[in-house]
A = this chain, B = another copy of it.
Amino acid sequence: MEEGLRERKKRETRRRISDMATGLFLMRGFDQVTVAEVARAADVSVNTVFNYFGTKEDLFLDRQADLEEIYRGVVRDRRPGESVADAFRRDFLDALDTGDWRYGFHEGAEVFGRVIAESPALRARTLEIERQVMACVAAAIAEETGADPDDVRPELVAAQILSTTRLLSRHALRRRAAGESPRETEAWLREQAEALFDLLESGIGDYGRRPLVVADDGEAAGDHEDDHVEGDHGRP
């Protein structure tokens, strides 16, 4: 059985709902659009929406599976001589070249990012997805290197690499949102990616080290800078 009418209609309905939802969210913001509206736009009932998507957030963020598959590939298909960190560095720079969506460089990524940034619910879901992707990458690394089940290092490596790429993506979005041109942002990203991955690979063990002996006249690396701490105890 290649594909019955039933399967096709289901796929189409799902696609229609997802597209309508994405369009509305991009246009008016996540919190300003109700699920009922999405349902009406897609010409289905609210219950049908929840039949296809577990939560409202899933209407907007439904690429987790793809992401996991891609990252698994990055780990699995790394080249001879490449470490895991090397492979991700290359993948990041490749994605930068091709404008791939996986790190948020695709066309319209700024709008996408803004919508997420403006909605607490979407931010939360994004973090949860990142966590699960991290676990997935850790599992891939563990399997690939044949690490002991009790070995925590695969998780550490995954966390550190993905922290790095996430940091780069976030800053790229912020810069684009602040009006920087794509060219500038890309150049900045390329430079920073090299710097951060270098730091990542060689270790942060010396970062911010206090000088053992206090020079009485000049100031050595990483010194005082105490005006007053800007108190930000507030809750969100």
Binding site for B on A (CB under 8 A): 54, 58, 64-65, 68-69, 72, 75, 78-86, 120, 123-125, 127-128, 131-132, 136, 141, 143-148, 150-153, 155-157, 159-161, 163-164, 166-168, 171, 192, 195-196, 199-214, 221-225, 227-229, 231-233, 235-236
Contact = CB atoms under 8 A, between A and B. Distances in A.
Number of copies of chain A assembled together? 2
Of the candidates A80, A141, A231, the one having the most CB atoms from chain B within 10 angstroms of its own CB is: A80
A144 B201 contact: no
Contact of A205 (B78, B128, B200, B207): B200
Contacts of A143: 225, 229
A153 B201 contact: no
B157 A207 contact: yes
15 contacts: A65-B233, A81-B210, A82-B209, A82-B210, A83-B209, A84-B207, A84-B208, A127-B131, A143-B225, A147-B228, A152-B192, A153-B199, A153-B233, A156-B164, A200-B205
A196 B205 CA distance: 12
